[in-house]
Structures are given as structure tokens and as C-alpha cells.
Amino acid sequence: MSFPSLLIYLSHLSYPVIQTAPQGTAIQKQGPWPQRTWMAGLEELKKKLQPLLFDDLDRVGASTRVPLPEDTCDSYAVSDGGTVNLLSRSLGEYKINEHGFHKRSAGPDELDSDEKAYRCASHEMHIFGPIGNGASSVVERAIFIPVHRILALKKINIFEKEKRQQILNEMRTLCEACCYPGLVEFQGAFYMPDSGQISIALEYMDGGSLADVIRVKKSIPEPVLSHMLQKVLLGLRYLHEVRHLVHRDIKPANLLVNLKGEAKITDFGVSAGLDNTMAMVCYFCTVTYMSPERIRNENYSYAADIWSLGLTILECATGKFPYDVNEGPANLMLQILDDPSPTPPVDTCSLEFCSFINDCLQKDADARPTCEQLLSHPFIKRYAGTEVDLAAYVKSVVDPTERLKQIAEFLRERVCWPE
């Protein structure tokens, strides 16, 4: 029997990722947990996943593996003039250069293809400081000079295949969901030949992420969570029901807030299409918020996002991730598979909130509610008529005057405005 190894990467302890690797690939351990505990957990996990990872068809009769998603980026080219042409049979044609971004939603041979153009030139951007770093991108703050607007620039290298697919996923979702409630707005994109990077210009969410909020506030009150969650559910419902996409990476760091208190979903680079007859298979993702069916490498659908949302909201309400992450990713996955689903503390949480979390964290994916059903949940309805000053709450976490001082200093030193 052949059995593929599990190769686990850790950029941060809170966000380990897992990927199947060819047999014989060495297991690489990172992190402070004891080796014996880590290896014991890994061996137990391998036994649990063994029926799902058989490659020996003579022993199991037929493979239980689902084919991985087809490569969405079928070809790409960079012209001498510095224009990147990304071509996908399913997603269309994308042309990006220093002056902006042009998209055809269907293949280049389609006469009735829908076209969109965004002018967002590199020379019209002035960068003034990083926002954060991810596994595949760097995000910086910039001023878009023509409209005097602050944007977030997400920079991704185009010369790696996986990152090109992420670019297509991100821009496809953002273009088709522009200005939709609960989703971060897309402003355009441009390519810089010198760096080999595509910059995706996004709405700047000046309140940070929900991960930032709970880092400062320790927990988020139920009325605030309920109002923020309503917007998030609208955005997630759009992804599921209209775009037929599974986000696959819902977590506090990917739910951003602005100074108005509006919460929006970001980071669509690992989202995947799903039609009514096909379910996706997990191949690369954040383990921490992963649903049981994804860990077992089974078919999964929109319900996987509902599980991740449930863990995210529970963490926001309590200020603590509900599983023990200190013994490494293998043991974390065993907890998700074997332990009862986490429940909110009944002494500090309302019955409606407990019900909401319990519904989201059903081990059986088919038993989890849809976004549409969650929008009508008693937890959402309970606070719908309650006036909540979301802006004041976010400003208690982020000092907007400090941000304005940074912008003013930048403008004074680096930007010459016309008289």
C-alpha cells in the first residue's frame, strides 16, 4: 500500500496550513510543541485519514479521491511593452499593465463577451506604509492621487503558478461583486514590470480586521457582533448563491471593518467555484478554521464556510480560539475530527447566540444552515431593532486621528499638489 505523506507548513502557530505531498517527502516540524506529542498526533491522524488517501486501487477497488480543481490559469504572457495577459478558458482574459486593468468575462473567441476596464495607474499611486503580509502577498497603504482616496494595494508575484491562480480567483470575484454589501470593494489593478508584481487595488478598511479588534478588546459584545455579522452573511450569501463560490478561508483576519463599523469579507485568492453537481476537494488551506469534512479530504460545499464562520464568531465573542493549538496542527485536526463541537459558555452568552454557534458547528455538513437561513436566525433578529453605534465601537479600537496625522505627514513630505 502506498500512503502519501502529510507536509505541514506553519507561517504562524495560529494559522497552520496542510498540503498532501508525494510519498517520501520528509515531514518538516516547526513550532514549540514536544516532538513526541506532535509525532504521536500525526501518526494517529494518518491512521484516520488512511482510508481516504489510498492510492492502491487493487486494495480498495476504486479510488475515493476527488480530482483536484482544474488549473484556472491556462496560459500567461508578458509583452515587451510590459502588459501581462492572463488567459483562462473558464474565467476569461485579463490584461494588466502600468496603466490599469482590462477584463473579458468569457473566452477570447466569444463575440458577446462582457468587458470591463479599470484605470488605476501605478504612477498615480503613492505608497506610504505596509498594512500586513500574508503567505502569498504583501498589502500596503497608498493614496490614489486623482481622487485623493486611500486604498489598500495587495501585491502578488505573477511568476509562480499558484499565485497566478490566486490573482485570477481574486480579480474574478472582486470584478463580479463590485460594491456588493459585505465584500471589500475592488478599485482596479496594475502590473509593474520591474518587480514582476501585480497590484490589486482594494477599498482601504481603516478599522483593521476582527483579529485586530479582539486583540485589543479581548472580546466583542453580542449586539456589535450581530450587526457586523449581518453584513458578512450578505456577502457570503452572494458568494454562495450568486457566484457559486466557496471562500475556503473565513477567519477573523479575513473579516475587515471600516471606521463606520461595517464588516466585509476579503482575501478571495483561495476561493473556488462550485456548481450544483460538483463538490470541491480540499488541497491547500488554513487548518485552524477548517471543517471536519475538509480535514477528512472529503467532498465539501458551502457548508464548509459556515463551519469556519461559526468558529470565527465564537472566537470573537469569547476572545479565545475554541480549540487547543499548542500541540501542533496534527493534534488540532484530531480535536476537530474527534472532539464534540465547541459550544459557547452559557453563563455569559445568550441562548440565541449559543443556538447560532451550535447550528454552524454541526459535524454533519448537511445539518448546517445556509447563509439565507442564518440571516433569519433569532440571534440576528434579537438585535436587529437595537441601536448599536458600530462606528464608536471601532473608533474605540482604532484612533482615526493618528491615521490622519500619518496621511498629512506623507502628503507634506512626498506629494506636491497643484495650486
Residue numbers annotated as active site:
249
Secondary structure (DSSP) of 322-351:
SS--TT-HHHHHHHHHHSPPP---TTTS-H
Among the listed residues 268, 204, 214, the one whose alpha carbon sits nearest the alpha carbon of residue 238: 268
Distance, in Å, from the CA atom of 339 to the CA atom of 1, rounded to the nearest integer, reads 29
Distance, in Å, from the CA atom of 416 to the CA atom of 411, rounded to the nearest integer, reads 8
Residue ranges of the binding site for ATP: 154
Task: Determine how β-strand 245-246 pairs with β-strand 272-273.
Answer: antiparallel
Distance, in Å, from the CA atom of 383 to the CA atom of 221, rounded to the nearest integer, reads 11
Distance, in Å, from the CA atom of 30 to the CA atom of 229, rounded to the nearest integer, reads 35
Please, are residues 8 and 330 in contact by the beta-carbon 8 Å criterion?
yes
Please, are residues 265 and 250 in contact by the beta-carbon 8 Å criterion?
yes
* φ, ψ dihedrals at 168, nearest 5°: -65, -45
Query: Is 67 strand, coil or helix?
Result: coil
Residues 6+ apart with CB under 8 A from 334: 41, 44, 45, 48
* φ, ψ dihedrals at 8, nearest 5°: -115, 130
Distance, in Å, from the CA atom of 245 to the CA atom of 201, rounded to the nearest integer, reads 21
Question: To which residue does cell 468558529 refer?
Answer: 311
